[in-house]
Amino acid sequence: MAKRVHVLRFVVRFVSGATSQMEQAVQHFGLRRNRSWAFSRQDSVEKLERIARSPKSPFCSASGHWKASSDPCASSCSSRWDGTDTPEAPLEVPITESRLPRVRRVAAAGGGACKFAPLFRNSLHVEIEPVKELSAVVDGLLVLADIGDTARLDTEEESCRTDLFTIDECGRLLPLPWPKQLFPLILVNMGSGVSILKVDSARSNDYTRVGGTACGGATFLGLARALTSARTFEEALLLAEHGDASKADKLVRDIYGDDGSASLGLAGGLTASNFGKLSESSGLCECSEYDLARSLLQMVTQQSVLLATAYAKHADCLDRVFFVGGFIDEPNRLARAAIAQNFRSLGGCAYFLRHSDFLGALGSLHHAFQDLEEHVEGQ
């Protein structure tokens, strides 16, 4: 993804990793950085010692004492040279502020921006500047909307590069242009938990968190580990791909029958109770771990769909609901397909983003650019 800021063009590359490995990774890079800096500093000290031993050194007077100098290297040295080839003591070069690795600031969102701030400061000499997570997610969406391709893409190659898409009836990715009327919109951020935001305009912080649920991606993985052999998110999704949720869930037709469902005006295949069949004595025996994983995925997905639908109807933007976050990123095709189908049946449209897992990073980058522009304008 590329973005132009003034006359400069930036290429943004996304890298994903497990939060549980963050501490080990930062400490590893910090150790390598400090070793590299230490070797560089030792090389500078050795060069300074060789200069100091030379009678022609510009830093030494005829009597062998250090001369005053505006050179920061000379003014930071405190040893004396007596005119002989061997100094009275090893040359001491105090670690002043100018000799420390330069401290950099990085804008970051999410819990890690606070939790790992001391780790980044101590290991990498990087100061984390926290950005409000929900603000960063909204800003990230608006960044993509600002630079997104508004024309429909025809070729398959171009379709793979589009930022915005939905899922069609056959489960295929369908590229879409950004809505001509973007606001108001509903933004459903699905991570460990779920937050639902109503965004009213592109103005800064013009959004409201209207609701959410604690039933999110962490719920899916936690229960999958408890109920199946899966130990990772990818393994749980692989199980769900081969499962049948109807073997674990109680459907409307299981309660009312097909005729009764029709008389109620309800589709017989609607879920009446997640894992409802497990309450029956024979239910667990007829369920495989594949079915359990699929039912889990459906339960988590349905929670967010039901809430988002209610808020979208209230805001009159059922055709502008954006689902983002790590839970519905590229590997989770099943969840995206289920969400799209639900909204399509209601006459609406569920949008997905190619960079949905990185909106917080994009929003943080946007925050950093804003700070840079304000700094430049203030000079």
pLDDT value of residue 98? 47
pLDDT value of residue 195? 97
Q: How far apart are CA 69 and CA 62, in angstroms?
A: 15
Show the beta-strand stretches assigned E in the chain.
Answer: 2-5, 8-11, 104-109, 126-131, 164-167, 173-175, 185-190, 194-199, 207-213, 250-251, 271-273, 321-324, 350-353
290 Cβ contact list (under 8 Å, min separation 6) = 239, 240, 242, 243, 244
pLDDT in tens, 10-53: 778 888 877 778 888 888 888 877 666 555 555 655 555 555 55
pLDDT value of residue 325? 93
Count of C-beta atoms within a 10 Å radius of residue 69: 12
pLDDT in tens, 165-224: 999 999 999 999 999 999 999 999 999 999 999 999 999 999 999 999 999 999 999 999
- In terms of pLDDT, which residue wins out, 258 or 66? 258
- Closest C-alpha to 79, from 69, 95, 91: 91
Annotated active-site positions, please? 133
Q: How far apart are CA 141 and CA 52, in angstroms?
A: 58
pTM of the predicted model, to two decimals?
A: 0.76
pLDDT value of residue 273? 95
Query: Per residue in 239-257, is it b (16+ CB within 10 Å) or e — as a string?
Result: bbeebebbbbbbbbbbebe
Give the start-to-end residue ranges of the domains of the chain: 24-101, 154-248+287-359
pLDDT value of residue 342? 84
Count of C-beta atoms within a 10 Å radius of residue 368: 16
pLDDT in tens, 310-353: 999 999 999 999 999 999 988 899 999 999 998 888 888 999 99
pLDDT value of residue 59? 43
pLDDT in tens, 115-137: 889 998 888 888 999 999 999 99
pLDDT in tens, 134-165: 999 999 999 999 886 444 444 444 444 568 99
Q: How far apart are CA 244 and CA 294, in angstroms?
A: 6
103-117, 315-329, 361-375, range with greatest mean pLDDT? 315-329
pLDDT value of residue 26? 87
CATH of 154-248+287-359, one of 1.20.58.390, 3.20.80.10, 2.60.40.10, 3.30.420.40: 3.30.420.40
